[in-house]
A and B are shown apart, each in its own frame.
Chain A
């Protein structure tokens, strides 16, 4: 087990539970102030002056509440599922199944990749299909939604026919949702096959829908790397439609699109894949080599490295604090 590497929060939404501490601390404070008056009355002392016996109660109540809060904090950290380091997990597979996720949104018609981002993407896909002769491919096309355009197959004819004719009308839903493209891609690997699995994302990374990263995290958990190829420049380009007109927004201004490198790098990074720019020299060979290396390394080693989840350590500490909280209030403190 490798204990080095970066610390990741696998379930960041779990940290929202920290808000529970607000009513808990508020209740504890309110109770202390009210309880002080009550306790002094109970002891028959003047208002606000606590009996020595009740002073012990206060210390115990304070410590018990403090430990209970610490229990909550550590349990919530366990819920957030913090991970660091890697450990090997057996992976007995051979062969390679690749799902090509093709962005067919209108921004892919921008001509800052020659002849257009979409055609450049299709050329890359065709090169991969021809180059990786022993692999099976599936194709997912996405815009606002995603469709499984070609199921997992080794039939080169249909794959080539698809990429030679790909255009934005393949998908009807308007918008751009990389998330749904990746989600559909993960469902395109048929069950019961013993091949290594990878996703090749061909996109400019411009996502108009909310990107939550759930699909990428799912890919990472399944051991499916996403190799993201970014198309288009970062300077911005207008979108020329097939009829020659420029795509405009509702105010009539030309829509300018640019590659979102950060988004694509994040997708590749989280899933354990790699990001490539379409300008990379010998991109198709490089991609083929990376996919080949991925298949070979996993095949030779017979395992893959997975993140080590550390939730149990946090939960155990939290549990000890809870026990301490119970014991402090339950065991009577002897007076000297």
Chain B
């Protein structure tokens, strides 16, 4: 039909061949087709891919147009189709990670800048009131104190290790704000993780638990596709996450300290913690690392708990989680989740 000399097709993500074609095209633009994409479009001129874009959760990603086809309104077309797909999926609050040099394109398409990290990455959202509403809402939950601490945690699921971290923070602070990572990529769904944390800290009256929606950037959301900076990716992600935390979230709640679990054995998390420590100085936020507590010579961790669930070892498990979490794990509600853990071969 008139006006369309290219054809846009939906990629069958189960087809290795189709994924591969898109991936090869993206690599020419210094990107890759990320593993977590849920929906991918490609624009073809005859049988050659000349543009593509994808969706993952509430993020638009892996978007690229062949340089020869730029300026023809094709990127608007691809982004329009991705936006429509998102709306049909019920996702209306959307995000894009892009290179700062490309942000103009998205600013012209109804996106608004949240923040940028140097020349590396810009985060945009499609709601001009998104971040503003989020921080306004946080301000309503502000509690005065000299030491106001914060912990960002996933808790997949909530263990005695997590509780120890929170208790330590609680004892040494006037107020503690917990942000639960909301990205739903863990076996325990976000609402369950949130519920278990709340139940597990009920005895601490200066601890407040928040749903860490949208503006707590977990590393699973952060695109791994900035190929050229592959080695710096953890650092860039941390910089972005910390910048949003320091610029918007901390001031809204008056946060001046952040607690993290010590992570000497995991180089990625260790680097994250080191970078965070460095960067949060600029916002007058102190970072305190708390060593992990142990049980039978091994640190208590959520991954150990999941391992024990796989083998139905509830006796050992009881030593690692608070009573509230344990009760959930033996309830009917947990059966599907435990089933999923057992089915996951990795």
Task: Please determine whether chains A and B interact with each other in the same assembly.
Answer: no
Query: Contact residues of B with A, CB < 8 Å?
Result: none
Query: Contact residues of A with B, CB < 8 Å?
Result: none
